[in-house]
Amino acid sequence: MYNFLIDSHAHLYAEEFDHDREEMLARARAAGVERFYLPNVDVDSIRPMLDLAAQHPESCFPMMGLHPCSVLADYKSQLQVVENHLFKNPERANFCAVGEIGLDYYWSTEFVTEQQYAFRTQCRWAIKLNLPVVIHARNSLVDLINIVSEPEFLGMKGVFHCFSGDLAQAQKLVELGFYLGIGGVVTFKNGGLDKFIQQLPLDKLVLETDAPYLTPAPYRGKRNEAAYIELVAQRLVDLLKIDYQTIMQQTTANALSLFNHLPQN
Ligand SMILES: [Zn+2]
């Protein structure tokens, strides 16, 4: 079984880590975190993300996609670059997912139509490539559930990262086959998730930090880093009344299955 933790969603290539990235990774390893899955954001994050993945090919796995907050006036040319990386793969990178993609109505609703177009387009690419999707939802979960329920997307594999909906939405997504990403929010007092996470199947939960964002308690407000995935795992121990070893083994197996990284027999 698995004796390590996985951070299924961490922007470890972000400039917030430029002055201490290797120390940060060493702290994560000391906390038992051995794999880090890196979501792309836009054309500017590709270079630092691929550089980090090339430096640590055994532990850092890159994704490719356009984040909904980066779907702006130039979204067509941004999508073109993403498509090129996924299908022509000029860097020979081994992308583990299409992400992060989704809808974000919190920061702006100016480009909602374009966001939905970009989301559907990237989902189609994921299906073509047999890759999972890593989905970002903010004030947009109703629309996202409707879209992923459309016939052409049924059977698509993926995760709703940093899940923050209600129990009925969580159950609907599990029913559709999605994993739910559990991060720092589960450690917040008014996070909501703590009220019903006991009713969700443990084999559909993956752990994530979303570092450098969404720092768990008691470090809320400071920079988040991958070592803190341990705090998220510990919070699940408290909420689910399941021992740490089991939480670690099951969430790690879930993440490996999500990204098609389970060893093949
Ligand atoms: Zn993210």
Q: Which two tokens stand for residue 167?
A: 């129990």
Label the pairing between strands 133-138 and 98-104. Answer: parallel
Residue 105 DSSP symbol = -
Spell out the residues 6+ positions from residue 154 whose beta carbon is closer than 8 angstroms to its own. 176
Q: What pLDDT, in 10s, does the model give residues 102-151?
A: 999 998 899 999 999 999 999 999 999 999 999 999 999 999 999 999 99
pLDDT of residue 12: 98
CA of residue 10 to ligand 1 center, whole Å: 6
| Residue 247 placed within a domain | yes
Please give the Cα distance from 110 to 202 (Å, whole number): 37
CA of residue 249 to ligand 1 center, whole Å: 23
CA of residue 265 to ligand 1 center, whole Å: 32
CA of residue 17 to ligand 1 center, whole Å: 15
Label the pairing between strands 33-38 and 60-62. Answer: parallel
CA of residue 114 to ligand 1 center, whole Å: 20
| Residue 265 placed within a domain | no
| Residue 183 placed within a domain | yes
CA of residue 162 to ligand 1 center, whole Å: 8
- How many domains would you assign to the chain? 1
CA of residue 31 to ligand 1 center, whole Å: 21
Q: 62: helix, coil or strand?
A: strand
| Residue 264 placed within a domain | no
CA of residue 225 to ligand 1 center, whole Å: 13
CA of residue 62 to ligand 1 center, whole Å: 12
| Residue 229 placed within a domain | yes
Q: Are 215 and 232 in contact (CB under 8 A)?
A: no
pLDDT of residue 33: 98
Peptide bond into 23 cis (omega under 30): no
Q: What pLDDT, in 10s, does the model give residues 48-95?
A: 999 999 999 999 999 999 999 999 999 999 999 999 999 998 888 889
Q: Which two tokens stand for residue 103?
A: 């809808």
Q: Which helix (H) or strand (E) segment is 256 a member of?
A: helix 244-258
Give me the residues near ligand 1 (ion), CB cutoff below 5 Å: 39, 210
Domain limits for position 15? 5-258
Main-chain phi, psi angles of 256, to 5 degrees: -65, -40
pLDDT of residue 204: 98
Average pLDDT over residues 232-240: 96
Q: Which residue in 174, 122, 191, 182 sits closest to 153, CA to CA? A: 122
CA of residue 263 to ligand 1 center, whole Å: 26
Q: Which two tokens stand for residue 24?
A: 């940060």
Other C-beta atoms closer than 10 Å to the C-beta of 147 total 18
| Residue 172 placed within a domain | yes
CA of residue 237 to ligand 1 center, whole Å: 24
Dihedral angle at the C-alpha atoms of 223, 55, 227, 85, nearest 10 degrees?
70
CA of residue 100 to ligand 1 center, whole Å: 7
| Residue 85 placed within a domain | yes
Q: What pLDDT, in 10s, does the model give residues 151-201?
A: 999 999 999 999 999 999 999 999 999 999 999 888 887 778 999 999 999
pLDDT of residue 173: 98
| Residue 87 placed within a domain | yes
Please give the Cα distance from 108 to 84 (Å, whole number): 27
Average pLDDT over residues 254-258: 98
Q: What pLDDT, in 10s, does the model give residues 8-60?
A: 999 999 999 999 999 999 999 999 999 999 999 999 999 999 999 999 999 99
Whole-model pTM? 0.96
Burial of residue 27, with CB atoms counted within 10 A of its CB: 0-12 exposed, 13-18 middle, 19 or more buried: middle
CA of residue 96 to ligand 1 center, whole Å: 15
pLDDT of residue 265: 57
CA of residue 247 to ligand 1 center, whole Å: 22
Please give the Cα distance from 60 to 147 (Å, whole number): 30
CA of residue 58 to ligand 1 center, whole Å: 21
> CATH no. for residue 220?
3.20.20.140
Query: What is the residue whose two structure tokens read 């993956």?
Result: 206
CA of residue 71 to ligand 1 center, whole Å: 15
Q: Are 50 and 62 in contact (CB under 8 A)?
A: yes
Computed over every residue of the chain, the mean pLDDT equals 95
- Residue 235's pLDDT band, with cuts at 50, 70 and 90, is very high
CA of residue 256 to ligand 1 center, whole Å: 18
pLDDT of residue 90: 81
